[in-house]
Amino acid sequence: MVKKEVLIEPMTRLEGHLGIHAVADLEKGIYVDAHSFVVMFRGFEIILKGREPADAIWITQRICGVCPTPHAIASVQAVDMAYQAPPPPMGVLLRNFLHGAEQLYDAALGCLVLEGPDYSEAAVKKWNPDWWEKARKAKAPNAKLHGYKTIADIMRALNPLSGELWLRSLAVEKLGRKMASLLGGKHPHVVSIVPGGVAKTLTPTDLEQYAAMLAHHVAFAKEFIPVMDDLLDFVLSLGYEECGSRKVNLLSYGAYDDPEAYTARYEDMPSWGLKRAVSPGVVIDGELITQDLIEINVGVREFIDRSYYEDWAGPSVAEDPAGNPLDAKHPWNKETKPKPGPYKAWDSKYSWAGSPRWEDWKKRVDGFAHALEAGPIARMWVTAKAGNVPESTGSSLKFTLPKAAVAGYKVVDEMEFEWKIPERVNTVERVRARAYYYAYTAYVMYNQLLQALEMVKAGKAEVWRKYKKPKDGMGVGMTEAMRGALAHWVVMRGQRIQNYQVITPSGWNAGPRLSDVDLGPYEDAIVGTPITEPTEGELSGIDVVRTIRSFDPCLACCVHLYQGDRCIREIPIC
C-alpha cells in the first residue's frame, strides 16, 4: 500500500477550531483512516455551576454566534422543566418563530457560502478539471426555474465573493436575522426567551412584518432547491456516491413544538415529542427503532476514552424523573474535568471533543452503544419515515409552498416539493437535505403563522405564564440546531445549578473514535471516500474537505486554549 497523509488544520470556512488527519491509500484510490480532533476546550459547563438556572438561557447562546437560538430553545426547555414553568401556546409559537428564523438564515449560509464554494468554478477548475469540462456541456434540467442554463453556470454562481448565488445568499441570511431580531430583540443572542414563555409584547404588526419577510424565503426556496438539485445530481452522476458514505445511523430530537401539546413536563415528553413538526427518532442500520424522547434521553452517553478529560465518579443522579435508571456516562451525571494531553497522539487522547454515543438500553436492536450522525439528513429522514406529520409518506416528505409574489424572484405560483429518502447517507445527500430543510422550515413557519393569526383573533395572545420556582429540579431540553440534535441538561439544587451539560450536534459528529472499529461520524465518513484529485505531489484533501463541510461543522466561538501549563483565554468573537 502506498500511503500518503493529509493534515488539515485549521479546517476553514466553519465556526470553531477543527483539525482532520487522514491517510490515503494511493493504490486503492481511497482514504483508509482518519482522526477528527477539536483543538479547543469549551468551559461553559464549569462557568454555569452555582448560577441561577435561567442564566443559562443567555450564557449558553454564547457557545455559538452562528446558531445561538437553538441553544436558547434547548436551555429554556430544560429550565422550564426544572422550574415547572410551562409556557402558553402563543409563547410556544413565538419560540418556534425565533427558531425557524435562524434555521432559514443558517441553511442558506451552509449550502451556498460554507459548502457551495467546494463545487464552485474556482474549486472545480483547480482540483477536478475533468468535472469542469463536463459541467460546461451539461444542461441544467431546472433552468426555467432558476435561470442557469448549464451546470457550469451554477458553479460560476457559487464562486466566493463574486458568484451570483453566493451573493444572493447574503441577502437571504440577512432577512433571517432580521426576523429573529424582530421577536428576539437582537440576533445573534436573542434576549426575549425566558422560563414560562417569551418576554415580548406581541402586536399584529409583528406577525405582519414576520410574514412579509417569510415571503422572501418562500420565493427564494423555489429557485434554491431546483438549483441545488441540478448541481448535486450532476456531482452524483460523476460517480461520487461513495464520498462521505457511512452507515445509516441517525439521531433527531425533533423541533417546532405543537403549541397545544407542549407541557414542559418530563413524563409528557413522548407525547409532545411526537407532535413536533420535525419528528424525533433514532435510526440504526436504516431502521427507525424509537421515537420516544424519554427513551432517547436515557440512552445518551458521553465517553472520554480519546478526549482530553478526566473520568468522574459514579452516578450522582440514579434515576430520571420517570424512574428509569441512569448510567454514570449520562449527561445528568457527567462532570467536565479538563486534562490537557499531547498533540496528535492518535493512539491515545487527541481531541477536546467527547465521544457521544446512544445506547440501545431497551435492546430493540443489539443493546450496544452506537455512534449516531446528527444533521438535516437525520431529521428529514426520521420525519419522512415516521408518519407523524401529514407531509410524511413513509419514504419521502412532500409539502407545498404557497404563492409568493416577491420582486426579484422568478416563481410566483405555489410549488410542490418532495424530499425522498436517499439510498445512502453521503456527502452529496447531506447538502441536499440541508437545502430541502430550508424549504420545509419555510413551509412550517407559514402554517404556524396562520395558526398564530387565528389565536390572536380568538384573544389567545398570552405569551408568558407566572410560575413558582421549586427548590430542586431536573430538566432536559432536546431540539434541533441547523447542524443537528442539540440537548441541554440541568440539575438544580437549592435553586442553583449543581450540574449543567451540553452536547451539540457537532459534538455527536466530530467526536473521536472509541476503538479502531468504533469511529466518530466524521472519521467514519472519511474512511472509504474516493480520491478524485490528482495524486502526484501533495494531496490537498479536497474530498476530505467536502465530506467534513457536508456536516457543516460548528465547534464554538468562546474558547479556552491550553498551552503547556498555561491557560490562554480568548476573547469571544461573536
pLDDT, one tens digit per residue, over 506-562 is 999 999 999 999 999 999 999 999 999 999 988 999 999 999 999 998 765 323 333
Q: Which residues contact 423 (CB under 8 A, 6 or more apart)?
A: none
Q: Where are the beta strands (DSSP E) in 367-420?
A: 369-370, 373-374, 396-401, 415-420
CB atoms within 10 A of CB 480: 29
CA–CA separation, 480 and 70 (whole Å): 7
Determine the pLDDT at residue 21.
Answer: 97
Cell of 537: 505531489
Compute and round to an integer the Cα radius of gyration of the chain.
23
pLDDT tens digits for range 292-340: 999 999 999 999 999 999 999 888 999 999 999 999 999 999 999 999 9
β pairing state of 496-503 and 566-569: unpaired
Percentage of residues of the chain with pLDDT beyond 70: 96
pLDDT digits (tens, 9 = 90+) for 68-125: 999 999 999 999 999 999 999 999 999 999 999 999 999 999 999 999 999 999 999 9
Distance CA 38, CA 59 (A): 22
pLDDT over 60 at 570, yes or no: no
Cell numbers 490528482: residue = 534
pLDDT of residue 11: 84
Categorise residue 134: left if φ over 0, alpha if ψ from -120 to 50, beta otherwise: alpha
Over residues 172-195, the mean pLDDT reads: 96
**Please, are residues 204 and 456 in contact by the beta-carbon 8 Å criterion?**
yes
Q: What is the predicted pLDDT for the residue at 555?
A: 62
Long-range contacts of range 188-191, CB-CB < 8 Å, 24 or more positions apart? 188/61, 188/65, 188/66, 188/68, 188/69, 188/574, 189/58, 189/61, 189/62, 189/65, 189/68, 190/61, 190/68, 190/69, 190/72, 190/98, 191/58
Residue 199's pLDDT is 97
Instruction: Output helix, strand, coil percentages for the chain, rounded to the nearest 5.
Output: 40, 20, 40
Pairing of strands 250-252, 373-374: parallel
Q: Are 13 and 119 in contact (CB under 8 A)?
A: no
Give the chain's mean pLDDT.
94
CB 67 within 8 A of CB 466: no
Q: What is the pLDDT of residues 439-470, one digit of tens each?
A: 999 999 999 999 999 999 999 999 999 999 99
DSSP helix/strand/coil, 249: coil
- Please give the torsion angle defined by the CA atoms of residues 217, 218, 219 and 222, in that order, rounded to the nearest 10 degrees: 110
Q: Determine contact, residues 555/506, Cβ cutoff 8 Å.
A: yes
Q: Which residues contact 407 (CB under 8 A, 6 or more apart)?
A: none
Q: How far apart are the C-alpha atoms of 304 and 302, rounded to whole Å?
A: 7
Cβ contacts of 19-23, under 8 Å, gap ≥ 24 = 20/522, 20/526, 20/541, 20/544, 20/548, 21/344, 21/346, 22/526, 22/541, 22/544
Rounded Cα distance between 500 and 317, Å, is 13
C-alpha dihedral sign at 143, 144, 145, 148: positive
pLDDT digits (tens, 9 = 90+) for 379-432: 999 999 999 999 999 999 999 999 999 999 999 999 999 999 999 999 999 999
Residue 42: what pLDDT? 79
pLDDT in tens, 127-140: 999 999 999 999 99
Q: Helices 204-237 and 164-184, interaxial angle, to 10°?
A: 150
Under DSSP, the state recorded for 188 is: S
Asked if the peptide bond before residue 325 counts as cis, ω within 30 degrees of 0, the response is no
pLDDT value at residue 550: 97
Instruction: Give the chain's end-to-end CA distance (angstroms, integer).
Output: 45
**Residue 261: is its pLDDT beyond 90?**
yes
Q: Which amino acid is at 183?
A: L
Burial class of residue 285 in the structure, from the number of CB atoms within 10 Å of its CB (0-12 exposed, 13-18 middle, 19+ buried): exposed
Q: Distance between CA 109 and CA 336 in Å, rounded?
A: 32
- The grid coordinates of residue 127 equal 482540483
Can you give the pLDDT at residue 37? Answer: 95
Please tell me whether residue 32 adopts helix, strand or coil conformation.
Answer: strand
**pLDDT, tens digit, for every residue of 6-53?**
999 888 887 667 999 999 999 999 999 999 999 888 789 999 999 999
The SS3 of residue 368 is coil
What does CATH list as the number for 3-569? 1.10.645.10
The dihedral over CA atoms of 495, 499, 503, 507, expressed in degrees to the nearest 10, equals 150
**Angstrom distances, CA of residue 301 to CA of 147, 191, 354, 360:** 48, 31, 10, 11
